[in-house]
Chains A and B, each alone.
Chain A
């Protein structure tokens, strides 16, 4: 009996020691990212970027002495998993806020859960529907799809293009983009002569290119996807000797696709955040310092190229940190604090939130880029 008593005391002491740092002020923050699975190119960098922010803050003593505890859940881009993680984080872990999920599909599934649980959610999904209509507790950091479309159409107007073909992958991203492209075309006096969807696993689009090319009226092609077909369509078009301009979505902002398409990538025009051309921005640019810091920190810590996708996770975490600093450790106060953030420079752009705008970015958060000598450069319209 005596030994058992000692054991209990020892156990209790150990528990206290474990529990102590937690009592000394910890902000619990949840994160749901698709670290593995089909969207790992989003979720991986997002989770690493968020962790990087948290590590840096905790190293400097936390927020007003309070350390941040980031609980990252890997959803594998599965909406069902995202739902159960969201419930778990809100009800069991009692987190102050959730960042993520990585994809629009997952975000839409947990929008209501976050709203009902009155827990701020800062999504990294691109689709506009996440914040339109506005749910008071739901925010997002990536630029809206419609901005990318408007940016492309604006550029086309300057180039005198008004008849185009649209091709898109059969993913959520591709479908949303195709819908936006068709919807916004009339506003810019642009006619969509052909709109095709290909499988996300498509490995060759020669036949499609042959079909589109037969229509001599098509002046440009817009491709909307986040899959390897971005490189394949470029190759197949140039191999077929088709010289019309090829526009891509902001999903093309990944240098690996440029490498994959090789010489065929030259001259592709697409909208993207400023991260990809951070070095060549003027010093007066409000984002430049932030962009270079992120790029440097991320690349030296993880030995891989920083991407705009990781930037969404970085922004989400930084916005939350700012809200914790301004508002304090309370779900409702965090929400209000995010809404009142003004001119907050991030990776995606300069965020200015309001009760009506839970994305906080405007169309100028995108710039038009092109590929020159295998590198991303700013596109100078003629």
Chain B
């Protein structure tokens, strides 16, 4: 393998990886406050892309994206309020079925609204042919947007959880719900907020990746599978773990192309998921002590 090819694979891997990581973080935020896996997470990503593309007819690009993020957050809040909030101590299985049902619902609604054709936002800088060259290695500037925006999101989120009082209240919810209630924290609102937050970052990721991957009514499903793999791999609830695991999975996928036929690319990520679930069910970055305290 030449050095140029090595870097080409590496950058391809990183750009896949950060997208997976952001989806995984979306899983983590909701998991942390509620203990459930929201299988409709991929649909938030799709919604973000689709809504921003529709809004682009009326607004300039940054406004369209901002509005799309806000609208998706509202959708996230609405979903929580209508389907989740009134449930009293639901079982894990019930929540899984509900969120899977929601993901199908959103997907079909999207098919109805936007049809089945592929859409995309324009490239933020340049067009389909623009590349930045580092010697023989050529990278689309959009990749930097994806990596940059996702990076800022991760940093911003961790600051939010550490420094703001709302962030701390959300963490309190995840640490011990009963104690949080006793401290006067409205845990129900925190759950709504967590849905809004994960919908928002999902939508933002959906916007920045849209020029590269395109957006289609069902593009959320495969992303959700990858994101879930990454969330497990990094340890459920662990956002920094998710970033590391996401980039790791992306790089493995990219380099796998060099050694095995492309058709096996997805098989590799699923195999990794299975191996992790068997060998280290808490993820490579998760601790088994912390996991024992969780419901599942």
- Chain A residues with a Cβ under 8 A of chain B: 36, 40-41, 167, 170, 196-199, 201, 203-204, 206-208, 210-211, 214, 228, 231-232, 234-235, 238-241, 256-257, 260-264
Residue from B12, B117, B212, B261 in contact with A207 in the complex, judged by beta carbons closer than 8 Å: B12
Partner-binding segment picked from B124-132, B147-155, B233-241? B124-132
Partner-binding segment picked from B1-9, B99-107, B192-200? B1-9
Using CB atoms, name the residue of chain A closest to B142: A239
B212→A204 contact, CB < 8 A: yes
Within 8 A of A (CB), among B221-278: 221-222, 253-255, 257-258, 261-263, 265-266
* In the complex, chain B residues whose CB is within 8 Å of the CB of A206: 8, 11-12, 15, 254
Residue from B127, B213, B214, B257 in contact with A211 in the complex, judged by beta carbons closer than 8 Å: B257
Q: Does B13 contact A (CB under 8 A)?
A: yes
Please classify the interface of chain A as helix (H, G, I), strand (E, B), loop, or mixed, using the class held by over half of its residues.
Answer: helix
Query: Whole-angstrom distance between the alpha carbons of A316 and B117 in the complex?
Result: 25
A233 smallest CB distance to B (angstroms): 11
Query: Whole-angstrom distance between the alpha carbons of A206 and B19 in the complex?
Result: 15
B128→A263 contact, CB < 8 A: yes
B128→A235 contact, CB < 8 A: yes
B114 smallest CB distance to A (angstroms): 12
- Chain B residues with a Cβ under 8 A of chain A: 2, 5, 8-9, 11-13, 15-16, 111, 116-120, 122, 127-131, 133, 138-140, 212-214, 216, 219, 221-222, 253-255, 257-258, 261-263, 265-266
Query: Whole-angstrom distance between the alpha carbons of A41 and B221 in the complex?
Result: 20
A263→B127 contact, CB < 8 A: yes
Residue from B5, B216, B255 in contact with A214 in the complex, judged by beta carbons closer than 8 Å: B5
Please classify the interface of chain B as helix (H, G, I), strand (E, B), loop, or mixed, using the class held by over half of its residues.
Answer: helix
A261→B261 contact, CB < 8 A: no
A256→B117 contact, CB < 8 A: yes
Known: A170-B263, A206-B8, A240-B8. 9 other contacts (CB 8 A): A167-B262, A206-B15, A210-B12, A228-B214, A232-B214, A240-B138, A241-B131, A262-B127, A263-B127
B131→A208 contact, CB < 8 A: no
B116→A41 contact, CB < 8 A: yes
A228→B118 contact, CB < 8 A: yes
* In the complex, chain A residues whose CB is within 8 Å of the CB of B214: 203, 228, 231-232, 260
Residue from A211, A214, A257, A261 in contact with B128 in the complex, judged by beta carbons closer than 8 Å: A261
A204→B15 contact, CB < 8 A: yes
B138→A207 contact, CB < 8 A: no
Q: Which 9 A-B pairs have the closest CB atoms?
A: A203-B213, A264-B128, A206-B12, A210-B8, A207-B257, A262-B128, A197-B263, A207-B254, A228-B118
Q: Sample 12 A-B pairs with CB under 8 A, ordered by A number.
A: A196-B263, A197-B262, A201-B219, A203-B214, A206-B8, A207-B13, A228-B118, A232-B214, A239-B139, A260-B214, A264-B128, A264-B129
* In the complex, chain A residues whose CB is within 8 Å of the CB of B119: 260
